Amino acid sequence: PPRNAEKRINCTKIINRTNNFTSVCGGETASMSQQAVNGVPCRGKVLTVDNMNPNVKRVEYAVRGPIVQRAVQIEKELREGVKKPFTEVIKANIGDAHAMGQKPITFLRQVLALCSYPELLEDNKFPEDAKKRAQRILGACGGHSIGAYSASQGIECVRQDVARYIEKRDGGIPSNPDNIYLSTGASDAIVTMLKLLVCGEGRDRTGVMISIPQYPLYSAALADLGAVQISYYLDEEKCWSLDVAELRRALNAARQHCNPRVLCIINPGNPTGTNKDLIHFHLKNNQLSQVQSRQCIEDVIRFAKEEHLFLMADEVYQDNVYAEGCKFHSFKKVLFEMGPEYSSTVEMASFHSTSKCYMGECGFRGGYMEVINMDPEVKTQLTKLVSVRLCPPVPGQALLDLVVNPPQPDEPSYITFMKERTAVLSALAEKARLTEQTFNAVPGITCNPVQGAMYTFPRITLPEKAIDKAKEEGKVPDMYYCMRLLEEEGICLVPGSGFGQREGTFHFRMTILPPTEKLKVVLQKIRDFHVRFTQEFS
């Protein structure tokens, strides 16, 4: 504490510099001459933006960035009666299926209801298979309650079901439940894995290869951990395909300033909405067609082995594949089919979640990670690290169990479950086609086929005068475009600059989740705005 006049003057300067004129005691505004409150000397804040963790200040997360914050403000203004040229804000910025109107899958919610309120097990309105699932899950919980902590790695029977699911998905390739870690959504597992991998200082600091465009979780996590981001670019002209030559270019350039150790792959793609990381395409009869999707995965695995890289395969959209002729191939399946030279040496973690696909259960925060060829001592450290967080949300673990172990053909819930599941995925496939066709009919917008996931990432051509206007206002051009769209049409999108893009190109990401009729409205509004915006700056 300051104990003389000189220190009190310095304290006043600190308060003046930080504009902190509010006393801790009582919250009343203090005058500049006031040196103490109730005899307690003035002191600046312990935590300020100048002395906080600098890595946190470098974190950016465009999906919930400034444009989304403005959208929330506009919603509040609408509720307060402020007149706008629209009556609602449509948030097409994030893959939140239920917020966009997607109905929950009946079976999933029935079992969760039974787990949450076991007295319902006596209610004859619930089918017997739902009750049996609930009883099995509750039997694995402490005190037969999903309100109890679980093991830090996750409930054992759920991990066993995840392992069986992976084996079935991958054609019988074994999966060990001990290699399964349940998580708070896939994001939590991804960040946990990166924490294990990041080390070193200066030129020895860990470098992590991520695709551009990328999902901002990766760049944000790397900034938070102080790791080095190594950007490799996807080829927009070839439907956002991945080229191993581009991987090698990025790797060689990065070795001048860091130690590349990790290669991250997202498939199907976010934000591009394509199977970019797995599929090569060629033109045949003027139509884009698939060739050797498996070959691309093999090339990536070979590259990882040659360059001694840890593979992280983000596969949360594995059920969201719409394009005819496209099929999801897990990295693990291909890795093991390539033989022991690869399956016994390449280190990998793969991720899945309950938030996407047909489920869309984002709020339950359920997910898992499977680790392959991990050093046993490192695995011990991983288990210790996840134990610090006690356990993933148990309701999310219960939901994940239902996703990996859905109703079977001989069970009473099967028909309804399959009908609902098929309806969700079919609607997404139809909306993917509708989005691509609509955008490609607008002059100045180019949209690759939406082959998977639940997003589109169209390229927009902006007039030079618009680019100059954006710079004049201190904004990135596509941020200026998206902010104008929000203010004039009430449509909330994320500018492509938040995901990364090649210099001189501009994009936006939009989810295809809104109900079909509302999606048509969104697309029409974007079309009208783009034409109007282009004319304004022509």
* pLDDT computed for residue 341 by the predictor: 93
Closest alpha carbon to 506 in 477, 485, 530, 533: 477
Q: Which domains does the chain have, with CATH numbers?
A: 2-52 (no CATH), 58-101+430-536 (3.90.1150.10), 103-148 (1.10.287.1970), 149-404 (3.40.640.10)
Q: What is the pLDDT of residues 328-352, one digit of tens each?
A: 888 999 999 999 999 999 999 999 9
- The string of DSSP codes covering 308-370 is T-EEEEE-TTTT-B-STT-----HHHHHHHT-HHHHTT--EEEEEESSSTTT--GGG-EEEEE
* pLDDT computed for residue 117 by the predictor: 94
Measuring CA to CA, how many Å separate 74 from each of 52, 82, 100? 31, 9, 18
pLDDT band at 294 (very low <50, low <70, confident <90, very high): confident
Residue written as tokens 């991987």? 247
Above pLDDT 90, what percent of the chain? 43
Give the separation between CA 378 and CA 103, rounded to whole angstroms: 41
What does the mean pLDDT of the chain come to?
83
* pLDDT computed for residue 413 by the predictor: 95
Contact (Cβ atoms closer than 8 angstroms) between residue 249 and residue 280: no
β-pairing, 310-314 vs 259-266, is parallel
Contact (Cβ atoms closer than 8 angstroms) between residue 224 and residue 55: yes
* pLDDT computed for residue 323 by the predictor: 64
With 70 as the cut, is the pLDDT of residue 80 above it? yes
Q: What is the pLDDT of residues 90-119, one digit of tens each?
A: 888 877 878 778 899 899 999 999 999 999
With 90 as the cut, is the pLDDT of residue 402 above it? yes
Residue written as tokens 């490609």? 440
Q: What are the tokens at 392?
A: 């993933």
* Residue 340: burial class (beta carbons within 10 Å; 0-12, 13-18, 19+): exposed
With 60 as the cut, is the pLDDT of residue 228 above it? yes
Give the separation between CA 406 and CA 413, rounded to whole angstroms: 9
- The string of DSSP codes covering 218-250 is HHHHHHHHTPEEEEEE-BGGGTSB--HHHHHHH
Bigger pLDDT: 131 vs 29: 131
Range from 201-215, 399-413, 461-475, 497-511 carrying the lowest mean pLDDT? 497-511
Closest alpha carbon to 138 in 162, 161, 109, 115: 115
Q: What are the tokens at 469?
A: 């206007």
Give the separation between CA 195 and CA 191, rounded to whole angstroms: 6
With 50 as the cut, is the pLDDT of residue 522 above it? yes
